[in-house]
Amino acid sequence: MPRERDYARHAKAWPFTEARALLKHVGGKTPEKGYVLFETGYGPSGLPHIGTFGEVARTSMVRRAFETLTDIPTRLFAFSDDMDGLRKVPDNIPNREMMTQHLGKPLTSIPDPFGSHESFGHHNNERLKSFLDDFAFDYQFQSATDCYKSGLFDATLLKVLERYDEVVEVIAPTLGAERRATYSPFLPLSAKTGKVLQAPVRERDVDAGSIVYEDEDGSKVATPVTGGHCKLQWKVDWAMRWTALGVDYEMSGKDLIDSVKLAGKICRILGGAPPVGFTYELFLDENGEKISKSRGNGLAVEEWLRYAPPESLALFMYGKPKAAKRLYFDVIPRTVDDYLNHLSQFPGLPDGKRLDSPLWHIHGGRPPQEDIHLGYGMLLNLASVCHTEDKAVLWHFITRYRPQATPARAPILDKLVEYAISYYQGFVKPAKKYRAATKDEAVALEDLARALRSLPRDAAAETIQSEVYEVGKRHPFADLKSWFRALYEILLGQSQGPRMGTFIALYGIDETIALIRRAVAGEDLGA
């Protein structure tokens, strides 16, 4: 819409900042190929992971912002480096012994250990497509094997051969002396073994478009550099791909900053223009260490989605992409509540401010509308005190607290109840540690029970909260924080907890009084 486009020109959200830089990069007009090309890369030696989601989600946000700014057509290529040689057999696949026999071969030339697809590369490519489809990403899949073998890359591969020495000069300073002596940007595929070879190139024939390399047995072999007979070392491959496809925008992690610079230089040598880039920070695990696929530390996509909606994961990816963030289970509740807060605030935002809301970028400008009624953290506390896996038990309390809320009228809330129960069972329940009340705390708790008994059963959360405050003030606690910590530890078995007024209004005054009595009597509240 014209007005939305005008707002987009001044929006402060980082995807719009990126989109405006990209629009400037393409000169404000449609490139010769007919569209602006966004690209994300995927290494199919393993299954798609949370970093894959993050890169595609963030790139899609920039693409959406770009499409709001202009009518220039766009495409997103999800590119699979499936012609890479397999260096190590993954730990999480069957038939590992069989896979060991194919080390060094292109991923699309190795039998599928799962027995369901043409090759291991094809299997993982299908997993990638299914993964992206589950999130409804708009993309076109591209296979390195197909691009090399179809001849799509041939013209640019010949440029690499023609400007071989210039390309090597860019890479050589980054190599050790021994590696530098045998380095070649071309990796021939051995006709004898089918492996991708790190082989010395002894001769080059630019006119014939071929090289002569030294095979593993010492023999000299002539091969074309085109038609899938060779692939490129990955940094040169990246530059070649930018040039051949005309990539206009690609993100990459902080660990690839130097590689981006090298690829940019090579891209220019090949006559291309490096894409606009965006460097994002890497995720850290609970110990502040870099998340690694091979180590398996951190949090997987499927684990996040077991406990929270996909929109909350998208919000996590949206926020401060240039800052390192811990990606572990304890970030889920806070992120979900942040998402719910944005959802409740979005309808009241002025039109010009909506484009700066994460919700605009997560939902393509059209977030769902629902009065959620309760936060995820509060649902966790309700599940905690009810000790239940039955969704209906929680809905009993929710509907009594908010009569207009039902599973049918509040589908987002209904799904959140399921997530909260799963999270409670997985993380809260095992960590619960109730403690007995001290004499002074028992007296204060009995005072709280009397105060609650005097209130109307439909008392507002703020009224209840005031009573809880007043009780705490009447007793010898160092401060109110100590009083509330005692409530959490004694009644909920945790060191932190909800706003007590809201929690008691939700759980019920009578139920809370019964809970207090059990705690004062020394009963096991975790049973």
Express each pLDDT in 437-492 by its tens digit.
999 999 999 999 999 999 999 999 999 999 999 999 999 999 999 999 999 999 99
Burial class for 219, CB neighbours closer than 10 Å (0-12, 13-18, 19+): exposed
Distance in angstroms (rounded) separating the CA atoms of residues 34 and 289:
43
Residue with tokens 């014209």: 2
Q: How many CB atoms lie within 10 A of CB 510?
A: 11
Q: DSSP characters for 210-270? A: EEEEE-TTS-EEEEESSTTSEEE-HHHHHHHHHHHHT--EEEEEGGGHHHHHHHHHHHHHT
Q: Is the backbone of residue 296 left (phi > 0), alpha (psi -120 to 50) or beta? A: left
Q: Give Cα separations from 75 to 20, 38, 61, 438 (angstroms).
A: 17, 6, 13, 65
Task: Based on the fold, state whether residues 79 and 203 are members of the same structural domain.
Answer: yes
- Residue 177 falls within a domain, yes or no? yes
- Is the distance from CB of 53 to CB of 114 less than 8 angstroms? no
Give the pLDDT of residue 115.
94
Read off the pLDDT of residues 360-394 as tens digits, 9 standing for 90 and up. 999 998 999 998 879 999 999 999 899 888 999 99
Neighbours of 271 (CB within 10 A): 10
- CATH of residue 109: 3.40.50.620
Q: What share of the chain is helix, strand, coil (3-state, %, to 5)?
A: 50, 10, 35
Position of tokens 């994002």? 280
Could you please report the per-residue DSSP string of 155-209? HHHHHHHHTHHHHHHHHGGGS-HHHHHH--SEEEBPTTT-PBP---EEEEETTTT
Same domain, 170 and 76: yes
Q: What is the pLDDT along the chain (527 residues), one digit of tens a residue?
A: 678 999 999 999 999 999 999 999 999 999 999 999 999 999 887 777 788 899 999 999 999 999 999 999 999 999 999 999 999 998 878 999 999 999 999 999 999 999 999 999 999 999 999 989 999 999 999 999 999 999 999 999 999 999 999 999 999 999 999 888 889 999 999 989 999 999 999 999 999 999 999 998 889 999 999 999 999 999 999 999 999 999 999 999 999 999 999 999 999 999 999 999 999 998 877 676 666 554 555 577 888 999 999 999 999 999 999 998 888 888 999 999 999 999 999 999 998 899 999 999 999 989 999 988 799 999 999 998 998 889 999 999 999 999 999 999 999 999 999 999 999 999 988 988 999 999 999 999 999 999 999 999 999 999 999 999 999 999 999 999 999 999 999 999 998 889 999 999 999 999 999 999 999 998 888 76
Contact (CB, 8 A) for 340 and 358:
no
Q: Are 60 and 209 part of one and the same domain?
A: yes
Q: Are 197 and 345 part of one and the same domain? A: no
Whether 152 is covered by a domain: the verdict is yes
pTM for the model stands at: 0.91
- Residue ending a domain, choose from 311, 338, 362: 362
Close Cβ partners of 169 (under 8 Å, ≥ 6 residues apart): none
Domain-embedded: residue 371? no
Q: Which amino acid is at 396?
A: H
For residues 18 and 87, membership in a common domain is answered with yes
List of residues 6+ apart from 181 with CB closer than 8 A: none
Euclidean distance between the first and the last CA atom of the chain, given in angstroms as a whole number: 58
Quote the tokens at residue 8: 């987009």
Question: Does some domain include residue 370?
Answer: no
Question: How far is Cα 186 from Cα 178, in angstroms, rounded to an integer?
Answer: 17
% the chain with pLDDT above 90: 83
Q: Is residue 369 part of a domain?
A: no
Per residue in 297-337, pLDDT (tens digit) is 557 788 899 999 999 999 999 999 999 888 888 899 999 99
Domain count for the chain, please give it. Answer: 4
- Tokens at residue 29, please? 């007009």
Same structural domain for residues 41 and 85? yes
Q: Residues 488, 507: one domain?
A: yes
Show which of 362, 389, 408 is a domain's final residue.
362
State whether 199 and 252 are in the same domain. Answer: yes
CA dist 91 and 401 (Å) reads 49
Which of 261, 280, 299 finishes a domain? 280
Which range marks the domain in which residue 421 is found?
376-431
Structural domain includes residue 497 = yes
Eight-class DSSP state of 74: E
Residues 134 and 219 both lie in one domain: yes
Secondary structure class of 63 (helix, strand, coil): helix
The answer on 275 and 238 residing in a single domain is: yes
Let me know if residue 527 belongs to a domain. no
411 inside domain: yes
Same domain, 260 and 348: no
> Are 462 and 399 found together in one domain?
no
* Cα separation, 178 vs 9, whole angstroms: 52
